[in-house]
Structure 1
Amino acid sequence: MVRPLAQHSKTTLRKAWKHAVSPLHRKKNQLMAPKKKVSALIKLQIEAGKANPAPPLGPALGSHGVNIMDFCKAYNAQTQDKMGQIIPVEITVYEDRSFDFILKTPPAAALLKKAAGVQKGADNPLTTKVGSVTKDQVREIAETKMADLSARDIEAAMKIIEGTARSMGITVTD
C-alpha cells in the first residue's frame, strides 16, 4: 500500500530524494568534466556576414588571445541570412583562449530606422520629427525583440519600442 506524501517521515523523503533517478545525479567515482573558466565577456555590434579582423573586431578579440579568423568565419556563417543588418553578439572568452558566442536580435533603433525609412534619428527629438511608424510596425518590431527585452508581454515590449522611437524623433501613429 502506498502512503500519501504527508505521512512519510522527513528522513524517508530525504533518502528518496537523494536516490532519485536523474541525469543530474552521478555516482561517487564518476567525475564530471571540469568547467572552463571565463576570461572575458565581449559585447559587440557587427554587420551580419561582414566580420573581418580589422578594427574594432580585431583589437577587441586579439587583446584576449582569441583566434580572430576562427570567430569571423563562424560569425559570418551564422549570419549569412541576415545580410545588411547589424547583429549584436556576446562573445565569451575562456582562459584556454577558446570562445563561444550568442547572437542577439538587431537593435530596436536600427529596426525603427528601417521601418520609418530614415537614415538617422533626429538631433533634437522634442522639436524635430524625422519619420513615423504605425502601431502594427511597432508590434512587429516588439515581437522580433521580445527575446532580448525584459518585458513580460507584448504590450510592455511595444511601450519600450515606442519610447525608443520617441527618443529618435519618430512618431507612432495608429
Structure 2
Amino acid sequence: MPTKSIKIVVEGGNAKPGPPLGPTLSQLGLNVGEVVKKINEATSQFKGMTVPITIEIDTSTKKYEIKVGVPTTTSLLLKTVGAEAPSGDPEHKKIGNLKMEQIIDVAIKKKPQLTAKTLKAAVKSILGTARSIGITVEGKDPKMVVKEVEQGKYDDLLTKYEQKWNEVEG
C-alpha cells in the first residue's frame, strides 16, 4: 500500500482549504473540505496557535490519518501569558509574567519534542525561550530563575510535578 505523508503547520482550529494544503490534497484525490474540517476539529484545543500536523495518506484507498503535533514553545508561552506576539525588544519590553508552575506545565506539554531527559532540564529550556520573547517568571528575568533552578530553589516544586512528567511519552 503506497502511502504519502504531508507535514504542514496550521493555525489551530483554523486550517484553510487554500494553498499549499488544498492543491496538495486534491492532487491526491482527497475531499479537501472534509480533510480541512477534520484538521480543524483535531486542532481546536490549540486555537490561535501554530500547530504542526502530519497527514498520512494511503494513496490507493484514499484513507488518511491526521496526527497532531504539539505547538511551538513560543506559541504555548504566548497563549499562557495572554499575548499576541513576542516582544520585539525582549531586553527592555516585557509582554507578561508567568508563575513557575506555568513554565513547568509548558515543559510537560512539550516533552515529546524536547531532548531534555529530566523535568529540571526541560524547565531550563522553556525559561530560555520565555526570556527570548520578553516574558518574566516570578517577576524576574528568566536567566535569574535558571540560576535559582540550578541552585535547587524549585526542587520541591519540580518533585511535585515529576509524576506528571514521567507519564508523558517522549
Q: Tell me the TM-score normalized by structure 1.
A: 0.64
Check whether the contact 2:12–2:40 (CA below 8 A) recurs between aligned residues. no
SS of corresponding position for 1:138: helix
Check whether the contact 2:2–2:58 (CA below 8 A) recurs between aligned residues. yes
Check whether the contact 1:124–1:169 (CA below 8 A) recurs between aligned residues. yes
* 1:139–1:64 distance in 2 versus 1, CA, 3 Å: same
- C-alpha distance in structure 2 between counterparts of 1:61 and 1:147, whole Å: 27
The reply to whether residue 121 of structure 1 matches residue 86 of structure 2 is: yes
Q: How far does residue 111 in structure 1 lie from its aligned partner after superposition?
A: 1.8
Q: How far does residue 46 in structure 1 lie from its aligned partner after superposition?
A: 2.7
Moved more, 106-115 or 93-102: 93-102
Which structure 1 residue ranges, 5 or more long, are not aligned? 1-35
More helix by share: 2
Number of residues paired by the alignment?
Answer: 137
Runs of at least 4 residues off by over 4 Å:
none
Q: How does 1:62-141 map to 2 (within 5 A)?
A: 62-80=26-44, 82=45, 84-86=47-49, 87-96=51-60, 97-141=62-106
* 1:60–1:124 distance in 2 versus 1, CA, 3 Å: farther
Q: How does 1:15-26 map to 2 (within 5 A)?
A: none
Instruction: Mark the structure with the bigger radius of gyration.
Output: 1
SS of corresponding position for 1:146: helix
Which structure 2 residue ranges, 5 or more long, are not aligned? 139-144, 146-170
* 1:63–1:133 distance in 2 versus 1, CA, 3 Å: farther
Q: How far does residue 83 in structure 1 lie from its aligned partner after superposition?
A: 6.2
Q: Counterpart in 2 of 1:58?
A: 22
Q: Counterpart in 1 of 2:118?
A: 153
- C-alpha distance in structure 1 between counterparts of 2:128 and 2:34, whole Å: 38
Identity %: 30
Q: Tell me the TM-score normalized by structure 2.
A: 0.65
